[in-house]
Structure 1
């Protein structure tokens, strides 16, 4: 058992800045002491709190515990908490900061409506100054995660659980202050001798009269100042916000790099009549970089081959509602592999995620959620066209993405790890009728990102179809895009390539597809799909992680570590009979402010203390203290729900009340194992706590209603292809282009990857000319073992065939040519 890194600031649950004689600014987490109830509860915001509601802590998701079930609750949930306001706060700016609510939040204070925020992945603040009283104030938040045709994302390979699933803080500051995330730092000129530093500081004046302010800044390096920014004086009109520019330089800067991720700290202050009214600080790094079309990626003047992984935010047990400690562990696992890049797939992540990339030394691809999934293309659920098909939905949808891009850049702009703002992923999965509008919106968002942040390029992720790759500064090619776009003449990366699949430990060696093993000098790098298993609406998908949903590494994880770092794999567990349990934790202390947890690891071991593969379920129970698992005071890990594998399972424990936490692990036929941890934080008033039950009935997604081919614009694998006649031609609807094998020998083939398992009942094949040779159609669930579906004979007249058959599950549909290959214009699957 070892202690996780924890600073005093994390444990104290508050951050207070004081001047010589008064409090300047205070920010504290208020993740504890919330109550929650499923449903909309109309009018409840104006009624006294109900004793029947359940006690929860934040971050929280509607669907707890989360064992990666495909279905999830879609509807409303309501949160409530009392917020104490001391009399001396009245007259100041008082606000709530929400770092993420999926996906619509309505906020009431003391029964009065104060704000509505739409968008599930970006932070926002709610001004309470005009509605709070001294003493206890009732905060009520109504949340819904109902699919909305006018709100991005309209589609995506993910789960869309509702809830206040990121941190909430209370902020108190002066009426004359630095705005929320109001400091922007750039380093427009950097070399090894000098770094220019430009800071933009937004000053708010809520006073009823104009004020003259003096704005100054100091750059610090660890414990010492290294530069001062020349103070600037400005007059701020009443009720206005202005931006003040500060300039300075760092001599012989320590450059930020994944191998030495050094950061500086800029502290800005605003003074009126000699009195400091506010101060804020932000971390930043000095570095320069470039994506090139012919030589790859350069950081600080040196070529760096980017090799990374895509990361979704949800996790075993807690779903989307991860703590900062869990984020810290996720980033550390990617760093441990020897990778140097994370793609935040496919939405803005928690601001702390980028902070950890800064600190640990990983480059970060920050992405917007203009997102498509393809397939049936059904309105009413997240299988829809990425861009709206109803013209009436277009204005609000487009504005939701503009708003989210502004919020993402505002809250993430100072992170040195971030090297691009990506506009989305596979937005080409839009209905063909609106594809022009989807491309126009992509171009507009690229331009907006340049306007908001001229220092970073804009990427378009998943741009391997319909001409999206040329709309940004960097093209991200997913899947077969790696071989369809060789030396495309623009800066590019492989933004997704698939390596592993399955729930179990899997094979050790990874077999790459589409030629990604070749490191071309013009390609900036490649990004694995994906680091961790994730929950998704796509049945059978989400199982391509190097680690499972509970962050237990699969064998492929260690293959990557050996390949990239030269470290030999550990000894893998062998089948055996356990005689004992071993229970350990990555932390000895848990902060009670909702930012931390303890990751418990339970192992079934033999008489030598060696883990063995034993299929007994293990139950974890809090026998002392008020620690909670996502299911309450106990949780069962088992092979049946895939939370226990190869004789081990992991689960995160939280605590919102300080004190000793004693956890016991039990399994049939084995003695119990115990562990004692300490929850640390302010003492709350004791009370009986009611923990919520599992989520109510889930909403079934509409299926079997779409008219689109499941293979349309999907990746295609081929045995070979002539130039200009790649396999991708065969899944483009109505183009007239076709696939042609490079050779004319028997055994050539083409396979359409549906990307997710579907129940299919019809396949249509269109050849470039009537087939003169035998051909076969086969299907596969896993992409490896294929089952014959149809054997086609030579045809003298027809060049197309439509096959109807009893429904079968398939992920890949393959055309094979046992005699001689035939050119294929299109393959469609329904």
Structure 2
């Protein structure tokens, strides 16, 4: 079986990156970022939807805003959601309509509000959206005061805090936009770009434009589509005149011939800009511009995945959308830094676990060259266990998105696809994650045939819903997704394949993802030869990658997980999950370098150490890049490498040369320098070392940038280090570091990466973890910014930034 799909890039009418965006003066569409000058109240405030409600004592906030991350951490809350509170909150914004918006259709667009949001304008109810991950838009026009003040009010209800298996945050945690259009305009998510024919010499672009004529008279609308290359030069143009009745919709279809297309790929993410403009009687009424890409994808049951007809292994990671100290209100610079770090390890694919992410995240994947599995749900009509006292401990909560799935599930899925369908990075739509987890909630008689609880659960539980329910639901969701986009395959991540194989669920899918079930690949490939199999969620073991690397028919591995994340935690005091290649500060862990050794070809050599096991066969201890041990210690040294051989030296004396990706030595500790050389073809191609470091003496600051964009509230990410007299990082330092900030900036948070720390994220001080901290400093206006660090007994240091 082969699925061949020819794709583009994403449109999302209102996802124009992360900047306040103004279109050219001749265009009738206007859009601005609507994040400033909001007021917030935590707790219920009945009547706050009324414009005359008193909010003078409410707190001023700038969106995006996540109130849960403000804490405090407490054991009274749920381990599933990071032991952080939920609650109910209100937001209000008073504004005067910009002059250029008067006489137009005016909309407000929310990229995400967690959850159960209700929105009013000037006391008029606009609507409710239960999902905290959906993007949605309301028209404001009928209730606007065009000359005087307007009040937008948003109520957010997250009182059911244990409603997810991971941290979700609370509040208006993504961008908000204000949009004005002429009566004749492109609909929300109304532009679609596909490339049904692609070769190296030519390609055909198809543009579908859904538009609305909201005026009282019929209109002959000229629809013009122009494709611009990276230099801004037009490479293809098409026009169509569409007669649209008054108060009616219409759809234009245009064809763009593209000569010598610059194909989008993970290695060369070439992008075009697609501009669609509308005009009536020669006068422009609307213009929408979106980045798009030209490429092909194809999945084959025997040969795996092909990108632009090139066989490609998907070296992927799963990602939740929090960033530690920032919760889920994450500036784009944070994800840009994280994604570039993952890319350096050879990662080329991202699974959006287990919900749609922020609008800008997809733009970053398009521009950086990641292949994306976009995912809609973690549960359907039946709920899953959300652990409260630690994973698999005590009595779980059963609250969750299943409570509104029957009414909203189809729409949430359709909106995800429409919002993101023009992204060249997206190569598949996932309708669910681990819906078939054995007995959580579905069950089947086959579960009585095995003894491994990870595979078979607790055996058949007739009180649970039957697994047969999943097939009809899956078929319905697949149909919804394909109606919105027929160019990509539909998939799901299956956790209980042993059970699902006895249902219609896998057959409803184009691609069948296997979570942690590599052992089933050969058997199921033989039994279901038409099934396209890949690893949708996998552990870090080398064998899990070998199952992909050594089998052409297995196209992908998505590691759990790329980055540590809040929630899905163990018992208190753990508040986060530490399964990532990177910690919550985005610092690489040893696992990162091992993955880099598997996924990249450039010479790599990284040294780690641990206390030597007391007896043969003992469990491998935690590895860390340190050469500070008690005298007379026996130390286990492991090199992570992709070289042919590695030689280890202690204080200049060779301890022998070994081969393999994980060569190891047991070494009697001696202070000084531990050095390793990596060899290929008998030549040294890489070298690394660990040194014994002294006591902490000073602080160091390493900003990722020194110039910030003042108008767009640019962000600096500053690494703070505790160092010894020679400037070496002291990896066991836990000094409490205080931050003083002067100038037009604010400290968004401090992250250490310690998954058991309960220090308040909003405080201007934090203990170092493994000798480091990460500071998030955001510009609030133009001018000089000074970031100073201090800690008792250590030499302080400051960094000078500038916002302009």
TM band (smaller chain): 0.7 to 0.9
C-alpha separation in 2, matches of 1:354 and 1:331: 11
Aligned to 1:60: 65
Aligned to 2:565: 534
Aligned to 2:127: 115
Q: Is 2:471 the counterpart of 1:430?
A: no
Aligned to 1:334: 342
Aligned to 1:586: 704
Q: Is 2:223 the counterpart of 1:215?
A: yes
Aligned to 1:78: 90
Q: Is 2:133 the counterpart of 1:129?
A: no
Report if the CA contact (8 A) 2:163-2:401 is conserved.
no
Q: Is 2:158 the counterpart of 1:145?
A: yes
TM-score (norm 1): 0.73
C-alpha separation in 1, matches of 2:428 and 2:552: 20
- Residue 402 of structure 1 aligns to a residue whose secondary structure is helix
1:260-314 CA deviation, whole Å, 9 max, x = no partner?
1111111011000111111111111111111111111111111111111111111
Report if the CA contact (8 A) 2:740-2:789 is conserved.
no
Aligned to 1:611: 729
Structure 1 residues 613 and 330, CA gap change in structure 2 (3 angstroms)? closer
Aligned to 1:679: 803
Query: Residues 654-669 of structure 1 correspond to what in structure 2 (within 5 A)?
Result: 654-669=778-793
From 255, 271, 274, the counterpart of 1:266: 274
- Residue 364 of structure 2 aligns to a residue whose secondary structure is helix
C-alpha separation in 2, matches of 1:569 and 1:315: 28
Aligned to 1:825: none
C-alpha separation in 2, matches of 1:12 and 1:494: 36
Query: Residues 392-541 of structure 1 correspond to what in structure 2 (within 5 A)?
Result: 396-428=404-436, 429-431=440-442, 432-465=464-497, 466-467=499-500, 468-483=505-520, 486-487=524-525, 488-489=528-529, 490-499=531-540, 511-512=542-543, 516=547, 519-539=550-570
C-alpha separation in 2, matches of 1:146 and 1:403: 24
Shift of 1:61: 0.7
1:508-533 CA deviation, whole Å, 9 max, x = no partner?
xx555596465211111211111011
Report if the CA contact (8 A) 1:387-1:430 is conserved.
no
C-alpha separation in 1, matches of 2:796 and 2:473: 59
C-alpha separation in 1, matches of 2:753 and 2:347: 30
Unaligned runs of 5+ in 2: 1-15, 74-78, 389-393, 443-463, 608-624, 629-693, 759-766
C-alpha separation in 1, matches of 2:128 and 2:152: 13
- Residue 349 of structure 1 aligns to a residue whose secondary structure is coil
Aligned to 1:568: 604
Report if the CA contact (8 A) 2:734-2:769 is conserved.
no
Aligned to 1:18: 25
Report if the CA contact (8 A) 1:409-1:453 is conserved.
yes
From 324, 332, 335, the counterpart of 1:324: 332
Shift of 1:227: 3.3
Structure 1 residues 79 and 382, CA gap change in structure 2 (3 angstroms)? farther
Structure 1 residues 381 and 253, CA gap change in structure 2 (3 angstroms)? farther
Structure 1 residues 272 and 376, CA gap change in structure 2 (3 angstroms)? closer
Shift of 1:359: 0.6
1:140-183 CA deviation, whole Å, 9 max, x = no partner?
111112449xxxxx965312321111111111221211122221
Report if the CA contact (8 A) 1:516-1:526 is conserved.
no
C-alpha separation in 1, matches of 2:430 and 2:119: 30
Structure 1 residues 387 and 519, CA gap change in structure 2 (3 angstroms)? farther
Shift of 1:672: 1.8
Report if the CA contact (8 A) 2:163-2:386 is conserved.
no
Shift of 1:383: 4.5
Aligned to 1:254: 262
- Residue 779 of structure 2 aligns to a residue whose secondary structure is coil
- Residue 612 of structure 1 aligns to a residue whose secondary structure is coil
TM-score (norm 2): 0.75
1:641-677 CA deviation, whole Å, 9 max, x = no partner?
2873321111322233443322111112112211122
Q: Is 2:594 the counterpart of 1:559?
A: yes
- Residue 747 of structure 2 aligns to a residue whose secondary structure is coil
Report if the CA contact (8 A) 1:325-1:595 is conserved.
no
Shift of 1:406: 1.1
Shift of 1:635: 8.5
Query: Residues 692-703 of structure 1 correspond to what in structure 2 (within 5 A)?
Result: none
Q: Is 2:585 the counterpart of 1:544?
A: no
Shift of 1:66: 6.5
1:356-405 CA deviation, whole Å, 9 max, x = no partner?
11111110110111438855899x998439895xxxx6xx5233221111
Structure 1 residues 386 and 437, CA gap change in structure 2 (3 angstroms)? farther
Deviates more, 1:456-465 or 1:220-229: 220-229
Report if the CA contact (8 A) 1:156-1:382 is conserved.
no
Report if the CA contact (8 A) 1:96-1:170 is conserved.
yes
Deviates more, 1:75-84 or 1:655-664: 655-664
Report if the CA contact (8 A) 2:164-2:386 is conserved.
no
Structure 1 residues 561 and 369, CA gap change in structure 2 (3 angstroms)? same
C-alpha separation in 1, matches of 2:243 and 2:695: 76
Q: Is 2:48 the counterpart of 1:44?
A: yes
Shift of 1:122: 2.1
Report if the CA contact (8 A) 1:639-1:645 is conserved.
no
From 152, 164, 171, the counterpart of 1:163: 171
